[in-house]
Amino acid sequence: MEHPVRDDGHVSLEADARLDAGLIVRAATMADLAVVIELRLALLREHAKNPIYRRLRPDAPARASRLFAGQLRCPSEVTFLAESNGAAVGVLRCVASAGLPLLFPARHGYISSVYVVPSARRHGVLRALFTSAIEWCRARGLREARLHNAVENETANAVWDALGFRVVEHLRVCHLS
């Protein structure tokens, strides 16, 4: 989905008429922990061929419960849930992160764990989640957002490009024997 770029080079986040009328985005709570686990593990399973994400531990659901519960309680981050007609259809995590000590900005928003269920894709869910994340960042005085995504995911690459992100570094992995 192509999004208009304003004269100042930023992506326009004006409402999209294609958003489902029943779509809402809200901050997840501890009551949503099970659905957050389900969606975030689905994201990892979807990338089962990725050299990093294919190494999912057998006890991942139990580990996820502890990890994601801590994230839901953390005041410097938010997990957004997208719901369509009462059903969870997407998730996005956003963290107010410290920047590198010698570089500006001192803090930035870090977006991660973005997943939209396949049946809800191309209906504005990602855009709604992204808009909520950007608003959350701006409310905290953050002027930059960053993210990582799987390199082999051409659709995600195109979507993030359309939303104004550009590749600025590469993550490389070397397995040590």
CA proximity to 32, closest of 91, 85, 75: 91
Three-state DSSP class for residue 89: strand
**Ordered per-residue pLDDT tens for the chain, 177 residues:** 333 444 444 444 444 444 567 899 999 999 999 999 999 999 999 999 999 999 999 999 999 999 999 999 999 999 999 999 999 999 999 999 999 999 999 999 999 999 999 999 999 999 999 999 999 999 999 999 999 999 899 999 999 999 999 999 998 999 898
CATH topology of domain 23-162: Aminopeptidase (3.40.630)
